[in-house]
Structure 1
């Protein structure tokens, strides 16, 4: 018996990093999973590796029309969706507010914030038809404190927004047995983090009480818990996985 037997999940940004890790854990625990991303080649390969309980769908998370198509194709393949992991996200440029371009600001907010709105708006009716579900919105420690892991104003604003939207949805849809929680990772070993820091954690890990960056699978353990019935009375919370970084 897997922890996610009978669950149908959509995981965005699933072609690499944390999203890929979440998808692999979900399938291993019995879920049927739609992996979505813009990286078709890698996404298709991962889905093929995972077998019949995985489906890859090309997906622009900033498009409400694309969200409608992804939901329809997921329901056609697996049935009503009971888990949504809004994982897709971008950092944007490392720059002070006065130098942040309008186009860069809007792009970061579109991927990190607006996409989570589109995802929840689209998937909640499917969860209601299924009798309930779990939404996991991936935010950041930059959605808790502005001076840690914050490349720019748009990133911080979008990650704080993710946290707030999650709480509202948890309150609104609790009576429908739909739970919503936000996850706030710190420094995680993913391609995006390595590209942004040009390292594998040597320097920035010194600031973490546990003295290391997290592996993606350590975040997946938390996401899996929140998606499963083990967390059946947990909703509206922010779950921090940062090695103690924000405790200082």
Structure 2
């Protein structure tokens, strides 16, 4: 690795599995000291132990502001400062038709996904503004951009994360703090496996299921999203703020199949008035 995050300290919520785990591994390999935050204690502690020096696990429920405040304080106390806050923790949450939505499930979805990101931004800004430096990243979803690709409340909060991040980016740029959003497509992870395969542990089943509808040659993996997060967290993106970076194989930007690369349009031609076509030279 090239040490692109050498000397930096990063907090990654939802860091015990999926995108968070992949990002923790990559950030650590690139020289960052990482604080892995999650409600999943056993895998979080195991990951920190595997990474070794420069890694720590903190149990944190991001829907609780006190937990997020303590998480940021722990990072600063242990490693001296905070350079990157990755608000990645999230749940699919409330499922089902809108007229049968269970409000306790909806409230929990909002609390974890949107309130959690808000708490992360608040307490990261608290320690970053005085240093006039820092990066805040948050995970959204294609469901926050496109209708019909995710549950209702999940879609709402993921759209809210984009609006919140852009608003905060406008405030914090004068303090040297950058704020951006990553939009991953469907990633082979425990959460996805619980939806499309035999259970959260069936990552092979998730790989096969997602591969059937993948936009490119294979489904997305956590490392693909982590690479986007690495760029945004690094000094290479020193003037990149207020953006939404899709890492989704074109799902949000080029979702439909192109009719002009297959079938009757596969051969080059020019289509003119009344259906007349240009003729290729001999």
What is aligned with 1:88? Answer: 89
* d(CA) in 1 for partners of 2:207, 2:178: 34
The superposition leaves residues 137-169 of structure 1 with CA deviations (integer Å, 9 ceiling, x where unpaired) of 000111111222x0x211001000000001001
Runs of 4+ more than 2 Å apart: 201-209
Contact preservation (8 Å) 1:209, 1:243: yes
What is aligned with 2:179? Answer: 180
* d(CA) in 1 for partners of 2:40, 2:122: 24
Shift of 1:196: 1.0
For the aligned residue pairs, the C-alpha RMSD in angstroms reads 1.3
Structure with bigger gyration radius: 2
What is aligned with 1:22? Answer: 23
Shift of 1:203: 4.5
More moved, 157-166 vs 36-45 = 36-45
* d(CA) in 1 for partners of 2:54, 2:109: 32
* d(CA) in 2 for partners of 1:203, 1:29: 32
2:144 pairs with 1:143:
yes
What is aligned with 1:113? Answer: 114
* d(CA) in 2 for partners of 1:157, 1:216: 23
Contact preservation (8 Å) 1:80, 1:129: no
* d(CA) in 1 for partners of 2:130, 2:174: 13
Unaligned runs of 5+ in 2: 198-204, 257-282
What is aligned with 2:52? Answer: 51
What is aligned with 1:36? Answer: 37
Q: Could you tell me the TM-score, scaled by structure 2's length?
A: 0.84
Shift of 1:201: 4.3
Q: Which of 243, 247, 251 is equivalent to 1:237?
A: 243
Unaligned runs of 5+ in 1: none
Contact preservation (8 Å) 1:167, 1:180: yes
* d(CA) in 2 for partners of 1:100, 1:85: 30
SS at match of 1:76: helix
Contact preservation (8 Å) 1:208, 1:244: no
- Structure ranking higher on relative contact order (CA contacts 8 Å, 6+ apart): 1
* d(CA) in 2 for partners of 1:207, 1:12: 29
What is aligned with 1:10? Answer: 11
Give the length in aligned residue pairs.
246
Q: Could you tell me the TM-score, scaled by structure 1's length?
A: 0.95
